[in-house]
Amino acid sequence: MFRREDTVSGNYLDVKTDRPHDHVDRVREQWRAARPELDTAPLEIVARVGRIAALFDASTNALMGRFGLARGSWDVLASLRRTEPPHELSPTDLYRGLMRTSSAMTNRIKRLERAGLVERTADASDGRSRRVRLTARGRALVDEIAPLHLENERALLASLTPAEQEALAALLRTLAVGLERG
C-alpha cells in the first residue's frame, strides 16, 4: 500500500484511494496478515468508538483541569445544574444517571463538597436520606464552564460537516438505544 503518513497522529493517507487510514485500519491490516480468516469488521466501529471516547475524555479533562476538575466531577455538577432549583438529586439518582458505582459517586461527592461546590442536605420527604445540592459557587462554576465545554465539543467534531454530525448522531442514538435495552 502506498502511504503518506502524518508524523503527528501516525495516521496515513492511502495515495491510491485518497482515503485516510487510522490506528484501527492498521490493527485490521495486522489481523488480516496474522489471521486472514477472522472477520474484523466490528473493529471498524467498536475500536473506533473506544479510541474516540478516550480522545474526547482527554480533551474534556484538559479543559476541566483548568478549573481544578476532572470529567467525572464535571458530570456530577452539570447533572445537578440541569435539574430544577434547588438543583439537587439523591446520590442514587446521580450514580445511576451517570452510570458510576455507588462508592465512586460517594468519593466524588465528598471531593466536591470539600471544594464547596455541592452540599449534602436532608431529604424533606425522608429524613433518613440525603440529597446532593449544587451550591451557589458550584452553580457559578458550571455556568462559567458550560459554554467553554460546548465549544470544546464543537472543536472535537470540526472534521465532520453538520450533515455528517447529524447522521452520526442518529446512528449512535440507534446503537445506544439498542445496547441500553439489552
**60: closest CA among 169, 167, 154?**
154
pLDDT confidence of residue 114: 97
Question: DSSP assignment, residue 177?
Answer: H
100-127 mean pLDDT: 90
When the pLDDT of each residue in the chain is averaged and rounded to a whole number, the result is 90
Return the CATH class of domain 44-181: mainly alpha
* Per-residue pLDDT tens digits for 141-151: 999 999 999 99
Long-range contacts of 88-97 (CB under 8 A, 24+ apart): 88/121, 88/131, 88/132, 88/133, 88/134, 89/131, 89/132, 90/123, 90/129, 90/130, 90/131, 90/132, 91/130, 91/132, 94/132
Residue 7, pLDDT above cutoff 80: no
103-127 mean pLDDT: 91
Sheet strands side by side (includes 19-21): 3-5, 12-14, 19-21
Confidence of residue 3 (pLDDT cuts 50, 70, 90): very low
Residue 162, pLDDT above cutoff 60: yes
pLDDT confidence of residue 33: 97
How far apart, in whole angstroms, are the C-alpha atoms of residue 152 and residue 60?
7
Domain with CATH 1.10.10.10 in the chain: 44-181
pTM, whole model, 2 decimals? 0.82
pLDDT confidence of residue 128: 78
Specify the residue for cell string 466524588: 108
DSSP 109-128: HHHHHHTTSEEEEEETTEEE
Confidence of residue 125 (pLDDT cuts 50, 70, 90): confident
